[in-house]
Structure 1
């Protein structure tokens, strides 16, 4: 009798095991297409399915099952023990012919809910047409997914997201691990207690107390910020290598609504040089916050806060340091909207804080929450609805959605809810939503692709721009890996066009994620290179870009004057009227500072169960060729990590956010 060796691996989580009976049904097909199956009880004598173990069972069949197509798992009650879900990681079946059939599972299995797994190589829909049962399995899998994962427009004008209102509604395998959730709760409890103890105080009285506020969760970089926050060159540095390196651009022509004159900035430029000459030499840069113009601030203490929409001019000096040289806090030039200069002392310091207030709000709303979290969830829903688990692009993409829906369902309340953190910013709940809609209307496919983004902002040759340097290298490493994998499966000239699931996927992304806008998303794929570029953009956004805008939040936000989320007073409309007391009256109170610091500390927290870019422990591919590609990808990341470590050893401050050793494989926090 033919024997099949069934090797079953139970997940390593503490709660992954079960005492219940597990049945496995192997389904195969001989050359004539007839189906053969064999059902057997894997465990007769005791609780074999304990966390982190692999057990091998023998299944005997009256005749060969032929090519193994499917494996069905069923869970039934043992004695009168209560239900306990079982997490099956993977199953490998060795056939009598000596071949291994790999069945990745990675899901929780309950009583009375059979799970049917596909095994073998990754298959496109065009590869499965030989077997009706496989086509039917693909169809049933996607129909079930579409019932589970439904689209919902959370905010009109933003990408559609999943319809889950809270984490409890998510399928078990998409939720936070118990370890991560417990760690998050411990940090939250500690910092909230600290916040309550501090909230009785009112305004700040000195900068030193601000520096001491979050001493228990300080980092080396946040200590550096404490000591350099008020220096003009560090202010400029942050627009290249801080938590929001997305907005600065080369200035080819001074905006007409920003009438900076040579006599205003001559002390900031080389002797005898003019602003026009420095623009021609490529040394002048601009941060224009016009996207904030017209969005009213929130009501605070009976008054409407004023949201500035600043223009900030920078000069790259001979020491290769980027320094601000002129700031106008509103878009329309007027006597009540003066241009502040480095010699304006306290007014200059206050003007920089208003610029950073706008930058912090823009960062959180557009480049962090919208540009990574919301896009990631939308891509995830489209992937789950349109690719069955056997599809090569599902196998390629699914590791990059780990915990994303879990963190996003929490964020909708904690950040974007009516009582969330965003509601306490200068803009408030409604303003932040309006800003996100406005930001999304200006977001394009090009802007999400780092090489084009850098080129469009004309920042190819800016010195000491480590976000660009590391990011472009990462983009190429990811692209090279994606290209290898995609070309492995799409070998024919019409393979891309004929993959109905791929075409349905991109159509749904264009409709639900990018809301039918041509400049944001192609309507179909014609060539392999189109697929490679789009998937590279997705993986880069969900890994490197998120790390760049997320991981430094505690570093730059904990000391509130460096990146204030709230400004309680209007900016100066004339020069010479501000002093230190004005600054402390304008910045958030002690309690408000504690609250924003708590948010930054949680969002930048590192977790022991993190999965780093390229090191996903859940195997999806059976093909040795693809496994070799993954190893090559990992080696490329490791080499870049070593290069960044070597550079950072002599760099102060070091730029670490795009070091592969610091980048999670998904948006998991």
Structure 2
């Protein structure tokens, strides 16, 4: 009673603040996924949602009262030990309802701090939570600090009960300091917070932990469950090198002390969890990721009750998008009528399974079969950065000849020149008109293993000709498989040429399918998973371990890390794990991650900047007169042309930002936190490649700018280009099959005769079967969607308070305006009828690098980060 009266009378001597926070979301995505895994979601007809929600509803009420305490820390005045003075404890007060900027689920509270003139200017604050449940702290704003004005603290962090922490939770103002420029009173606090985030490398991590540490990929298999689920450790060896993942500290498997045991809970640092809005908005789509529970129910219904495990015609496939697959009543009775499952099955009250129509067949249902579209998707599809200029003929292999024999291509000049409009191979090479999509070397070493299963595949080389009108034309496809006796005898190869009539046309369509199966596999495992998701995670870990939140490079990179560790943990549980989605429905099966590990041996960070990538593949040459410093040899190359616009915008923004904080190369070399960060990225996070000579030394501003630009490009535009077109292109399984099950029919065989009678049936028996198609479509749709709270390139959810420095803020605004201008330019390109590769035969514009998007399945938009 008296304390309240005293508080009122002393308000004139206090500093007023506003705290914005969110209650723990009842439908927190990590709780849901853990609960679904524990219960299997199939408990008496899926009726477990009530159990889930009741288990995670917090016990605290909306009146926080004296349950949350705060103390300010001075940035200007020190105590007797040289540390910034710590003020008196104060508590949250009344709920504020008049703030118009509150986001969904957010609440604002008044808080008043006792002001002591000897405290100086606040630079940080402690916060303690005495409640049982956690909450999400968004921000603290202090008003009218004497001789200073408003001070903003951007927090965005989960706060657990104080007893769960070994050190106090601390937050810093939005000021930015290089380590050497940190105000003396804050130096101790800055260093101690980084020590907390590094941890001591021991013990099993708990949900409330905030520790960032490294481990190898030893949690993909489950040898304790059954022997067939054992998988080799990926990372930590020369044979199977790999980027590091976040350490969880789970116990070793009982049957393999090199493997980590699997459990329902996969630790990631708590602030890496999906945000509040994303949890509720993406619930239905993340639940779809648990297709090991839902899809098997559908498979069972379709197979057992209809005895139709295969598509028989192309129309059967198209029915997935318009008529849908009729489901038996008793199959539906197993599924709870709650809305999430109605949305999952797209029944809308009807007994049919439907999927949205993929963009590749929205205008024309059969144009995907054309040679023009087959080639166009190599430069404007979902995997548009693999095609290379052919600079030697015939193309050679880098495979060990002692192990695999001579893998030099068997293609001849005569075979290619049949369709080269009178141009010779030598002329085409000299004039930069001959290209190749080469999936031979990565796949060939595994063919004997995978062909011993139900999967039947080839290593492929596809030869492409640049025509006078700027479009691409496939000239020939070479399919190779191991020699019947042993690999060292070299491959058995056949070359197939384009045909438009008769059984030869069907053979040619099958040859293209084998190419696309290779491309789909390489895309998912290397272009998508390895080269974006996996390679970025060590940067996230090292950033949080060594770059303080007040460090300028931490502030620059932070938006580009959002949700990545979380989606990667989910992937290790259901996508890239033993017998997960990728192993079950894609070509490489149990060798999937092993393949990506072998290709990681050749990963070069600096070559993943777009200009260097284009130069390496020979599809561009240096040209100082060009706006981008390079000239495309395929002028109408949608991915490259649009990507260079985005790349230049990112680099200009990074240059302005870095130049503001680093005025000399010496400032980079002498930045202790930056040097520790980069050293650990190289020696630990990507430690299997630490001896590579191509790593930046990180001694100059130029190196720092280039490294940050590459990292931002990978996490934003490159990931967008290889991710958000997955369903628009691959949702039509005929266009991008993920598996092949038969070898090419040989003349005189029953299969060849069948091909001449019913090529659709043979094609469908060769590519991905119906059950795997249902799984693929479900997951590809999830991966291709944007959440309603997505952060796009050029945007920051913190508004203008992420930094207190005005020049970087203005530079960031210019970056946003530049991206908007680029989007207008890209729309204009798509309206230019002379650029025939922009739409192609399917009449589908290339929009994947448009910077902005709405939520949902849009086939456009560049999020800041690898968030799905």
Q: Are residue 139 (structure 1) and residue 191 (structure 2) matched?
A: yes
Task: Flag the 1:225–1:188 CA change in 2: closer, same or farther, 3 A.
Answer: farther
Tell me if the contact between 2:653 and 2:815 (Cα under 8 Å) persists in the aligned partners.
yes
Bigger Cα displacement from structure 2, 253-262 vs 379-388:
253-262
Tell me if the contact between 1:84 and 1:110 (Cα under 8 Å) persists in the aligned partners.
yes
Task: Flag the 1:19–1:318 CA change in 2: closer, same or farther, 3 A.
Answer: same
Q: Secondary structure at the match of 1:159?
A: coil
1:117 to 163, 171, 181: 171
Question: For residue 427 of structure 2, what is the aligned residue in structure 1?
Answer: 277
Q: CA deviation at 1:596?
A: 1.6
What is the CA deviation profile of residues 75-95 of structure 1, one whole-angstrom value per residue up to 9, with x for unaligned ones?
A: 235xxxxx3322221112231
Question: For residue 80 of structure 1, what is the aligned residue in structure 2?
Answer: none
Mapped partners of 1:299, 1:338: distance in 2? 19
**What TM-score do the two structures reach when normalised by structure 1?**
0.91
Task: Flag the 1:593–1:493 CA change in 2: closer, same or farther, 3 A.
Answer: closer
Q: CA deviation at 1:432?
A: 1.1
Q: CA deviation at 1:219?
A: 3.5
Question: For residue 419 of structure 2, what is the aligned residue in structure 1?
Answer: 268
Question: For residue 543 of structure 2, what is the aligned residue in structure 1?
Answer: 383
1:68 to 117, 122, 141: 122
Bigger Cα displacement from structure 2, 431-440 vs 531-540:
431-440
Question: For residue 182 of structure 1, what is the aligned residue in structure 2?
Answer: 283
Task: Flag the 1:602–1:288 CA change in 2: closer, same or farther, 3 A.
Answer: same
Q: Are residue 27 (structure 1) and residue 90 (structure 2) matched?
A: no
Task: Flag the 1:288–1:185 CA change in 2: closer, same or farther, 3 A.
Answer: closer
Mapped partners of 1:32, 1:145: distance in 2? 24
1:320 to 465, 470, 483: 470
Unaligned regions of 5+ residues in structure 1, if any? Answer: 78-82
Mapped partners of 1:475, 1:383: distance in 2? 22
Bigger Cα displacement from structure 2, 435-444 vs 220-229:
220-229
1:626 to 796, 808, 816: 808
Mapped partners of 1:545, 1:387: distance in 2? 25
Tell me if the contact between 2:480 and 2:491 (Cα under 8 Å) persists in the aligned partners.
no
CA RMSD, Structure 1 to Structure 2 (Å): 2.8
1:401 to 561, 566, 569: 561
Question: For residue 516 of structure 2, what is the aligned residue in structure 1?
Answer: 356
Mapped partners of 1:224, 1:380: distance in 2? 42
Q: Are residue 247 (structure 1) and residue 345 (structure 2) matched?
A: no
2:674 to 460, 483, 502: 502
Mapped partners of 1:195, 1:647: distance in 2? 44
Q: Secondary structure at the match of 1:419?
A: coil
Task: Flag the 1:240–1:12 CA change in 2: closer, same or farther, 3 A.
Answer: farther
Question: For residue 218 of structure 1, what is the aligned residue in structure 2?
Answer: 357
Question: For residue 659 of structure 2, what is the aligned residue in structure 1?
Answer: 487
Question: For residue 612 of structure 1, what is the aligned residue in structure 2?
Answer: 792
Tell me if the contact between 1:326 and 1:342 (Cα under 8 Å) persists in the aligned partners.
yes
Task: Flag the 1:220–1:554 CA change in 2: closer, same or farther, 3 A.
Answer: same
Question: For residue 445 of structure 2, what is the aligned residue in structure 1?
Answer: 294
Tell me if the contact between 2:358 and 2:731 (Cα under 8 Å) persists in the aligned partners.
no
Q: Secondary structure at the match of 2:187?
A: helix
Q: CA deviation at 1:348?
A: 1.0
What is the CA deviation profile of residues 256-314 of structure 1, one whole-angstrom value per residue up to 9, with x for unaligned ones?
A: 533433442344121x43222222222111111122121136668x7463442111101
Q: CA deviation at 1:434?
A: 2.2
Task: Flag the 1:575–1:500 CA change in 2: closer, same or farther, 3 A.
Answer: farther
1:9 to 1, 15, 20: 20
2:267 to 169, 175, 199: 169
Task: Flag the 1:467–1:144 CA change in 2: closer, same or farther, 3 A.
Answer: same
Q: Are residue 598 (structure 1) and residue 773 (structure 2) matched?
A: no
Question: For residue 668 of structure 1, what is the aligned residue in structure 2?
Answer: 867
Mapped partners of 1:389, 1:488: distance in 2? 17
Mapped partners of 2:739, 2:216: distance in 1? 28
* Number of residues of Structure 1 aligned to a counterpart in Structure 2: 660
What is the CA deviation profile of residues 611-660 of structure 1, one whole-angstrom value per residue up to 9, with x for unaligned ones?
A: 11121202421212221111111111111112112322455321111111
Task: Flag the 1:266–1:609 CA change in 2: closer, same or farther, 3 A.
Answer: same
Q: Secondary structure at the match of 2:445?
A: coil
Alignment of 1:247-646 (within 5 A): 247-255=386-394, 257-270=408-421, 272-289=422-439, 290-296=441-447, 303=453, 305-330=455-480, 336-343=492-499, 344-425=504-585, 427-459=587-619, 460-514=632-686, 515-519=688-692, 522=695, 524-572=697-745, 578=752, 579=755, 580=759, 581-618=761-798, 619-646=801-828
1:97 to 132, 137, 147: 147
Task: Flag the 1:426–1:187 CA change in 2: closer, same or farther, 3 A.
Answer: closer
Mapped partners of 1:507, 1:224: distance in 2? 51
Task: Flag the 1:224–1:550 CA change in 2: closer, same or farther, 3 A.
Answer: farther
Q: Are residue 656 (structure 1) and residue 702 (structure 2) matched?
A: no
Tell me if the contact between 1:311 and 1:331 (Cα under 8 Å) persists in the aligned partners.
no
Mapped partners of 1:335, 1:492: distance in 2? 56
Q: Secondary structure at the match of 1:328?
A: strand
Task: Flag the 1:463–1:212 CA change in 2: closer, same or farther, 3 A.
Answer: farther
What is the CA deviation profile of residues 472-507 of structure 1, one whole-angstrom value per residue up to 9, with x for unaligned ones?
A: 111111111111111111124411111111111111
Q: CA deviation at 1:377?
A: 1.6
Mapped partners of 1:263, 1:418: distance in 2? 45
Question: For residue 160 of structure 1, what is the aligned residue in structure 2?
Answer: 244
Task: Flag the 1:647–1:196 CA change in 2: closer, same or farther, 3 A.
Answer: farther
Mapped partners of 1:62, 1:318: distance in 2? 78
Q: CA deviation at 1:227?
A: 2.6
Task: Flag the 1:91–1:656 CA change in 2: closer, same or farther, 3 A.
Answer: same
Mapped partners of 1:554, 1:14: distance in 2? 30
Task: Flag the 1:330–1:93 CA change in 2: closer, same or farther, 3 A.
Answer: same
Tell me if the contact between 2:481 and 2:491 (Cα under 8 Å) persists in the aligned partners.
no
- Which has the bigger relative contact order, CA under 8 A and spacing at least 6? 1
Mapped partners of 1:331, 1:570: distance in 2? 10
Mapped partners of 2:173, 2:664: distance in 1? 24
Task: Flag the 1:170–1:447 CA change in 2: closer, same or farther, 3 A.
Answer: same
Task: Flag the 1:170–1:208 CA change in 2: closer, same or farther, 3 A.
Answer: same
Task: Flag the 1:335–1:440 CA change in 2: closer, same or farther, 3 A.
Answer: closer
Question: For residue 202 of structure 1, what is the aligned residue in structure 2?
Answer: 309
Mapped partners of 2:616, 2:810: distance in 1? 36
Mapped partners of 2:196, 2:747: distance in 1? 63
